Amino acid sequence: MARRTIITIAVGLLLLLGAAHVYLHPTLRQPVSNEDDTIARLEKLHQTLAEKTSIQEKALASYKATTLAAQDAVKTQANPTSARIEEAVAARLAAIQREADLHAEAHREHHAEPYVLQKHNGHVPFVFVAGLEGTGHHWWKAFWEQCGSKARPSLLGPLAWQRAAAVFNAKMALDLPASKLMTEAAKAEVAAPVTYALNTLGGRNDEAMRLLKASSPGQTLPWGEGEGMGSYPNWWGTPTPDHKALQMPDLTYMADALRGVQGAQLRIVLLTREASQIVRSVCDKRNFAKSVGGCAAEVQILSLGAGILSTQIEALPPPPSVICEHMKFGRLQAGDAGTLERLSVLSNIDDAARVAKRVRAPPSPPGGAGPKTERAKRDREQLVGVLARAQEAAVSACARQALRRA
């Protein structure tokens, strides 16, 4: 009985204490409101911490920038030439850009009409026949030979070929001696009032090699073979067929030699031919393609030659010191009256038309029948198209050269 009474009293005391606790802490009666206040206080605290973090990051960045600036200042003081070097480099880059802009601007200035070459204009003509392999260089050789004493081979041609070979055969030690010999030859040749053939005619290659050897004892000549026709490319691949794609003449060497020589005029005859006839000549008749791995490889080399020729024409000085005139071999060979008249003007030979009609270029071999299967014919058409576009680019470059201002 006493035990039950004690338990009852204890339970009653516990209930009384619980009620008093709830009464003295009213927040326990509003649990939802208390949670909302706590969340709000946490969000405010987070925002404050974020603001302080941002301020600290900005302060650190500013300190880092200040430190780097101080380090640069110390480096400059330790090596005062570094700043000057950077300024000099920047100035040189700016000068190069200005030169490029001026060059581009000069090429944008053109005459409304192209320069038209007239016969007997007081200049001594130096004629270079610029064309791809298979465009008719042997016809020009026969033409010059028929002209007799009215046309002479120039020493500039074989010397210019030696300069070109100095580049593609990596023998640059003889480039400067060859250049000096070309300048001397130009001054000497301009004194004689005749037409100078820079290529195709030949006859002075041995003299050019002898002079170049004498100017540089102990040096190996860049080119030890004949001078060839001066076509693009020129000669078979030497020492290996792989070298054929490198063996290209350079018009700019001739222009440099004649620059400033009173009375001299460089005349570029851009000789073209129907692309299909060129391909047939080099692939089927004369079989040049065999040495380089096939017709496709040969046509690609020819296309490369046309591209190089275009670039060289673009780099030529403007008329009247240098002129470029396009001539189609098919019309020349057929005796077209207008073409023969331009031949007379370009060669500065009055009876050039009569001489040209007597020219009989060496006959080309009959060769093979060409592609036989439909696939081979389609491939041939594609190659012809590539070559035609490459030739046309050179023709366009020649037309632009005739419009440039001096």
3-state secondary structure 133-160: CCCCHHHHHHHHHHCHHHEEECCHHHHH
Give how far the C-alpha of residue 341 lies from the chain's centroid of Cα atoms, to the nearest Å.
35
- For residue 16, pLDDT over 60 is answered with no
* pLDDT value of residue 85: 47
Task: For residue 65, tell me if it sits in a domain.
Answer: no
Question: Radius of gyration of the chain from Cα atoms?
Answer: 42
- For residue 257, pLDDT over 70 is answered with yes
Task: For residue 373, tell me if it sits in a domain.
Answer: yes
Check if the beta carbon of residue 281 is closer than 8 Å to that of residue 329: no
| Paired sense of beta strands 151-153 and 124-131, if any | unpaired
Rounded Cα distance between 268 and 399, Å, is 12
Task: For residue 318, tell me if it sits in a domain.
Answer: yes
Check if the beta carbon of residue 313 is closer than 8 Å to that of residue 324: yes
- Tokens representing residue 226 in the block: 């004949």
Chain segment 66-94, per-residue pLDDT in tens:
555 555 554 444 444 445 445 555 555 55
- Tokens representing residue 280 in the block: 């047939």
Chain segment 267-303, per-residue pLDDT in tens:
999 999 999 999 998 888 877 777 888 888 999 999 9
Task: For residue 90, tell me if it sits in a domain.
Answer: no
* pLDDT band at 28; cut points 50, 70, 90: very low
Task: For residue 278, tell me if it sits in a domain.
Answer: yes
Give the distance between the most distant pair of CA atoms in the chain: 159
Long-range contacts from 62-70, C-beta under 8 angstroms, 24+ separation: none
pTM for this entry:
0.73
- Which helix (H) or strand (E) element contains residue 315? none
* pLDDT value of residue 291: 80
Work out the angle at residue 182's Cα, subtended by the Cα atoms of residues 202 and 160, and round it to the nearest 5 degrees: 55
The total domain count for the chain is 1
Task: For residue 40, tell me if it sits in a domain.
Answer: no
- Which helix (H) or strand (E) element contains residue 12? helix 2-24
For residue 127, the cross-strand partners are 197, 267
Task: For residue 291, tell me if it sits in a domain.
Answer: yes
Task: For residue 151, tell me if it sits in a domain.
Answer: yes
Domain membership of residue 387 as a residue range: 117-401
Query: How confident is the model over 106-119, as a mean pLDDT?
Result: 74
Rounded Cα distance between 332 and 342, Å, is 10
Rounded Cα distance between 379 and 203, Å, is 40
Q: What are the CA-CA distances from residue 250 to residues 56, 244, 301, 311 (Å)? A: 67, 15, 16, 10
